[in-house]
Amino acid sequence: MDGFILINKPKNWTSYDIIRVLKNLFNVKKIGHSGTLDPFAEGLLIVGINKATKFIEFLMNLPKEYIAKVKFGSETDTLDIDGEIINCDNNFKLNGKILEIAINDFPKNYEQIPPKFSAKKFDGKRAYELAREGRNFELKPKLVSIYDLRIESIDEVNNEAIFYLKVSSGFYVRSFARDLANKMGTFGYLLELKRIAIGNFKLEDAHSINDKEFKLISIDTALDFIEKIEILDCRKFKNGQITTYKYKDGIYRVYCDSNFLGIGKVENNLLKPLKVLT
């Protein structure tokens, strides 16, 4: 059993909860996922099983799409609904027109500071561990991109708004809530978050964790966003050998006799195996 499964992670489950249940259900040794969802969040999780786990890294950099509900006028230590309120602006009143201006002016590429309650590492420890200890530290910002951003609805009475975002890998929607609110001169945090897509994988195609049967997506099908090439010498690629291959530089799905062998990199007319299906 080798391949990928799309799972709709429910709220109040950790991503590891999903992995643990599926590992026991399928009785497999190797299993992993392509990107963590916080416990308060829900939505699409791509799970790799057995040999597919070797290829998860190629899914990590796919763009991701979310529906996010933001609360303005206050901020929690975790930047989500599970945290403790640490900042409050009782005088703030959400104005739809001002919000639209802020969205239109929000940078499409910017240096984003991850939440302190995150899995980022600082001095060799997870940031969330340091945050729980009350340590004072600053995480390094990371350049992230917003490919699409729009307002879905605005609730001025409750200082809340719902957004659709399509963003790059490594983008923290919790940080976006904080940064957008700060741009408007106030505080903000996430009330709800749903991941609805990862690349071409859609939430509507995902299974409930309670389903009795699961559709397994083959490894090469899951990677079909990567261009395909055919080679003649199967043995050398399988053995991890670099061979001559006159083609443009890039990362490719490699086939021989129509069989998927793995992922290779062409550079200066040389093909180097990166991940071999063994």
Q: How confident is the model at residue 36 (pLDDT cuts 50, 70, 90)?
A: confident
In this prediction the pTM is 0.92
- In percent, the amount of the chain with pLDDT more than 90 equals 85
Q: What local confidence, expressed as pLDDT, does residue 186 receive?
A: 97
Q: How confident is the model at residue 137 (pLDDT cuts 50, 70, 90)?
A: confident
Q: Does position 128 have pLDDT exceeding 80, yes or no?
A: no
Q: Mean per-residue pLDDT for 80-85?
A: 94
Residues acting as catalytic residues: 38
Q: What local confidence, expressed as pLDDT, does residue 134 receive?
A: 78
Q: Mean per-residue pLDDT for 50-77?
A: 96
In order of start, what are the domains of the chain with their CATH numbers?
3-62+199-221 (3.30.2350.10), 64-195 (3.30.2350.10), 226-276 (2.30.130.10)
Q: Does position 124 have pLDDT exceeding 90, yes or no?
A: no
Q: What local confidence, expressed as pLDDT, does residue 228 receive?
A: 95
What is the 3-class SS of 185-219, one letter each residue? CCCEEEEEEEEEEECCEEHHHCEECCCCCCCCECH
Separation in Å, CA 130 to CA 36, 83, 88, 110: 19, 15, 24, 25
Q: Give me the helices (H) in the chain, please.
A: 15-26, 57-60, 96-105, 127-132, 173-183, 219-222, 234-238
